Structure 1
């Protein structure tokens, strides 16, 4: 069957593609010229701010209104800081500080960084309520486990980001916080009633809509009472019925990456997932990170064919393309006028304090300390090796950048004993640095044995818990593993003498 060129062009206007490396290949520019909505950039596309600005300028040379998106959440999910860690604490830290004005400032600062780099769509903030403490994919990306707290910070995050001329995208609708599996790897199920969802998971999305969020991202999660056997991304009841009709959202519905098993696995491949998402009411389809020209063309052709044979109504495809074009127009207008408006005061404040100072001050307000770190002077620092989610990627974390002459060793908890570390310490205290120490049996056992036998402290840089190893001299909770969070922990432990004033 021949593909209608007009339908193919419409199909391209619904797609966010990707490419590897710090320079845009020719095919990326050709597809933009043909109508492609835009690109999502990942850590592999980012070397430094100057390079990123050149890259986005080259993309816009093919079409000035291209959407250029990125996952910049601060904290543990950062693309701008993927080589050294984010200078801004993430949502869990902002929720712990619980100052909505501070959240607005931090997101305005991140927005200005993105705008300066030529980004006009940030796939943030994450507004999931992290009610499952063992959640492998959300965790510190969430403002917290309380719906009211998360909703209280969602609006300021959206307003701060969009005050900088960068469109915000609240995610992951209708809420990924109660899952215990990663939708990158499978299709999680949240088997709850709609009343519970409305009380627990949906208030932050209502807050985002009230704040004027320009985009909302769908989740590849199954909620049987709402989505049946498929994910929310393929559910008209979720996207059109709940999000648009009940919550009044009129902006762009963006899909999470269609390459994820929660989508492609459920549909039988990425092209079919694209058709299912559009038919359900999605507008902007994020294909994923592992993308080449052939895949983009295959997806566009499948969407165009579906519009031609009736699997998607042509008017639905036109509607999606129009919404995406309006989002791009809004971003272009906002870039021109972002020096004024509602966000001007926030920008003046954080520019006066400096971005570095703002991030550090925000991280400091999230730091919680049990015990007395003064008893841990001159320690052996032991970083507990841990994995990372696909959303995070392999971003450096820990205290090493701030240790100076203090010795650090990296260990797998299950491969070392407390006695071996005590011997290595040679009379020094031991400071364990980890993420979700309580959740890994080996890390927890090691911490408890060390604390019972030797002067020991713990720095928890993941999702926190009430667990504390008996006998620990000090227990520090940073609420995330950003570079800013690491710095304030090092500061509290006496590794740094220079201290930024509280400017937040």
Structure 2
């Protein structure tokens, strides 16, 4: 695994970085907001005002091609330079490449679970390297990934394919490889969600997870990947909205001085930037306003309050923090230390060297042609050779499989209705060629989901069914039956975003069984 030479970021810092910033600008520097897009495709008035005020970070714009995103980000930096303030860090989720934020643009990459199925650190590094290069090419500097939570429950309702889904040691190895890959690709990375979200059965977007975790499990399982990420040089860590009462954390970890100052700073020796998970999530927003949670986050030792609100709300957030500084709830010296950490982060980004594509080369959806692509889906049982293909399923995943098969020259049809045993029986009687049922169950598998999958697998003990394709993180062997093949494909996340990389990996495995053509 290669790594580019590291320059000394301190050499790129101004002699006194804080001297040019007044108190309001120092506060703004510790806040992340959502950018808005004007009719001209550039920052709207509220975003431009936030940039001029010195906002520290912008989360990703959405729904535009790569070249338009590059133009937008260049304008953000021009506005900041004109105002004489540090440009906001451009952050985004690269869960499966730049298309995860922008839409169908750039290379769709496998979700972390696909990397976990392959269990190959070199593959983990390559995916992060490519994601980083494409992100930096369009102006992103900061990816809020990798997700290094260790999944220990099958009732997880949110992480799903966004986690590697393997044991702590392998998660640590794959996460560290991605930290290095993102860095060599030109962006800083974020290990999340400290101190581990993989044993929660509650989605913190919807409620506050209270986790019963003992100290040994905490240290040996959930902290292990973060220790490895820090050793690999991760620059930022995102803290989750989880409560761990047995470990003395009775408020959300994201707002806990114990978690930020003791666990991260003192015990793990982390010197980089601490960012909260999104404060608009119900785990926090159901109890506190944006202004209140911003104050609590900065008071507890976070460097960046990930408010993720509209840019127009920045002035009221600044006022709330300024009042908290005045009444002693927020230490101005700690605030200054956070601003300095962010200056160092900018300096490190400026030191990165990476070979980047031109933004307009990324405007269309690109195919991920990695030689190990097929290894990112899990297969159990004998795959049938293809004699024509009829995809059965009413999900976007099923539709994308159909389109990708047609693009490879297969004789393919699509029955856009739920894949059930009755549907398969009807289609088999109609001699519809080789059938490919596709099931996208809920992230946390319900008893109904399991029963449906088992029923479809039982009905697939026939050469006329190529395999049963199931989206998820479970082991394929746990679903397969005698003479019925299952492909578990981590293609769709909890937000419904489907990656083409996994669509192609499924077809790779089917075609490797013989039959059909590919071009």
Query: Which TM-score applies when normalising by structure 2?
Result: 0.82
The aligned counterpart of 2:15 is none
CA distance in 1, matches of 2:418, 2:98: 20
DSSP-derived class of the 1:399 partner: helix
Counterpart in the other structure of 2:180? 159
| DSSP 3-state at the match of 1:78 | helix
Q: Which runs of 5+ in 1 are unaligned?
A: 348-354, 387-394, 500-504
Which 5+ residue runs of structure 2 have no aligned equivalent? 1-20, 82-86, 358-364, 493-498
Superposed CA offset, 1:384-420 (max 9, x none): 549xxxxxxxx9975132132522233356xxx5324
Q: Where does residue 487 of structure 2 map in the other structure? A: 476
Offset at 1:315? 1.1
Q: With structure 1 as the length reference, what TM-score do the two structures score? A: 0.84
Aligned to 2:90: 68
- TM-aligned CA deviation for residue 233 of structure 1: 0.6
In structure 2, distance between residues paired with 1:209 and 1:450: 44
Residues in 1 aligned to 2:222 and 2:97: alpha-carbon distance in whole angstroms: 22
Choose which of 9, 13, 25 in structure 1 pairs with 2:25: 9
* Equivalent residue in structure 2 for 1:432, among 437, 449, 470: 437
Q: Which moved more, 1:64-73 or 1:175-184?
A: 64-73
Please give the per-residue CA displacement for 1:236-258, whole angstroms capped at 9, x wherever unaligned.
11111001111110000011111
What corresponds to 1:422 in structure 2?
425
Q: What SS does the aligned partner of 1:177 have?
A: coil
Instruction: Give the match's secondary structure for 2:343.
Output: helix
**Displacement after TM superposition at 1:326 (Å):** 1.9
1:260 aligns with 2:262: no
Change (3 A) 1:409 1:303: farther
Partner of 1:410: 416
1:139 matched residue in structure 2: 160
Using the TM superposition, give the Cα deviation of residue 361 of structure 1 relative to its aligned residue in structure 2, in angstroms: 2.9
Rounded Cα–Cα distance in structure 2 between residues aligned with 1:263 and 1:7: 26
Would you say the 8 A contact 1:436–1:464 is kept in 2? no
403 and 329 in structure 1: CA distance in 2 versus 1, 3 angstrom threshold: same
- From the superposition, tell whether residues 411 and 224 of structure 1 become closer, same or farther in structure 2 (CA, over 3 Å): farther
- One of 315, 318, 322 as aligned partner of 1:300: 318
Residue equivalent to 1:286? 306
CA distance in 1, matches of 2:487, 2:504: 12
Secondary structure of the corresponding residue to residue 237 of structure 2: strand
Using the TM superposition, give the Cα deviation of residue 468 of structure 1 relative to its aligned residue in structure 2, in angstroms.
Answer: 2.1
Residue in structure 2 matched with residue 370 of structure 1 by the alignment: 380
Answer whether contact 1:171 1:216 (CA < 8 A) is retained. Answer: yes
Question: Residue 392 of structure 1 aligns with which residue?
Answer: none
SS of the residue aligned with 1:369? strand
1:105 to 126, 130, 152: 126
CA distance in 2, matches of 1:13, 1:269: 20
Q: In 1, Cα distance between the equivalents of 2:57 and 2:316?
A: 16
Contact in 1 for aligned 2:439/2:453 (Cα 8 Å): no
Q: Secondary structure of the equivalent of 1:172? A: strand
Are the equivalent residues in 2 in contact too, given 1:84–1:483 (CA < 8 A)?
no
Work out whether 1:491 is the aligned partner of 2:512.
no
